[in-house]
């Protein structure tokens, strides 16, 4: 009998986990949520919470959350009792599990707020950049319109200048043609003047001989009778000799 009693003693587990009353669960959860700002926003601005057009304060909202924790923990305990009766399996729901539920909610809320704040900051930065870019684009659009008008004015001036340049180019071509023709004439005149200069030089060289010939001619004209007489005598002499 003693051995059997000892074996039963070693194979026995005392169920120390007694159920907490709902009031105790509610009080513990409410006290744990005392340091949590449920209605806090990312920017720090105050925020209201309305349910069916009924506004809830910070403490009332914490009480509602604590009541949810109480209902969850109590319902898990009830289903654990049903599992013992139906499946003969024990599922211990301890106060530690309840405290882990509440602290897990606080930690998860803190992490999610950090994540949401980070995403909100990125979104805010992106929206700020979009607004800034929109303002810059609007300013650049105005500048572009002004620049377009200036470019159009410059284009019209360039077209006018181009037409003037074309006219001046045609006039310059005509003048160039005239200048080329005049240049040819000037070259011909230069050649003629050079020929005239050379001719005058040759003429100056030939003038003394011409003057001598003129003097001889004048002398012969003045003494033609004497020449005829000399010629007759020479002819007679030739006849006599023959």
Does residue 241 register a pLDDT over 50? no
Pick 218 or 152 by higher pLDDT: 152
Q: What is the pLDDT of residues 47-93, one digit of tens each?
A: 665 555 567 787 888 888 889 989 998 888 888 888 888 888 878 78
Q: What is the pLDDT of residues 129-166, one digit of tens each?
A: 898 888 888 888 888 888 888 888 888 888 888 888 88
CA 1 to chain centre: 96
Does residue 242 register a pLDDT over 50? no
Distances (CA, A) of 61 to 32, 98, 101, 223: 14, 19, 18, 166
Burial class (CB in 10 A: 0-12, 13-18, 19+), 38: middle
Measured between its terminal Cα atoms, the distance across the chain in Å is 216
Q: For residue 34, what pLDDT is reported? A: 84
CA distance 68 to 85: 26
Domain spans of the chain, in order of start: 17-46+55-127
pLDDT band at residue 233 under the 50/70/90 scheme:
low
Could you confirm whether domain 17-46+55-127 is CATH 1.20.920? yes
Distances (CA, A) of 120 to 10, 48, 83, 111, 112: 58, 19, 45, 14, 12
């Amino acid at each position: 009998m003693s051995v059997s009693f000892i074996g039963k003693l070693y194979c026995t587990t005392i169920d120390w986990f007694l159920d907490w009353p709902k009031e105790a669960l509610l009080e513990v959860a409410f006290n744990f949520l005392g340091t949590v700002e449920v209605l806090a926003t990312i920017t720090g601005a105050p925020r209201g919470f309305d349910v069916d057009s009924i506004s809830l304060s910070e403490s009332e909202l914490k009480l509602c959350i604590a009541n949810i924790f109480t209902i969850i923990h109590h319902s898990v305990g009830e289903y654990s009792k049903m599992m013992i009766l139906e499946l003969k399996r024990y599922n211990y729901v301890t106060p530690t599990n309840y405290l882990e539920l509440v602290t897990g909610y606080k930690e998860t809320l803190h992490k999610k707020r950090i994540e949401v704040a980070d995403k909100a900051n990125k979104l805010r930065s992106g929206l700020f950049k979009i607004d800034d870019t929109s303002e810059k684009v609007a300013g650049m659009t105005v500048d572009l319109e002004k620049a377009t008008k200036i470019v159009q004015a410059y284009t019209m001036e360039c077209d006018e200048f181009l037409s003037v340049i074309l006219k001046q180019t045609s006039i310059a071509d005509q003048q160039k043609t005239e200048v080329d023709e005049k240049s040819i004439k000037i070259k011909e005149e230069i050649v003629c003047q050079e020929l005239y200069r050379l001719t005058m030089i040759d003429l100056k060289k030939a003038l003394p001989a011409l003057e001598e010939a003129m003097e001889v001619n004048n002398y012969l004209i003045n003494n033609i009778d004497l020449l005829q007489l000399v010629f007759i005598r020479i002819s007679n002499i030739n006849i006599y000799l023959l």
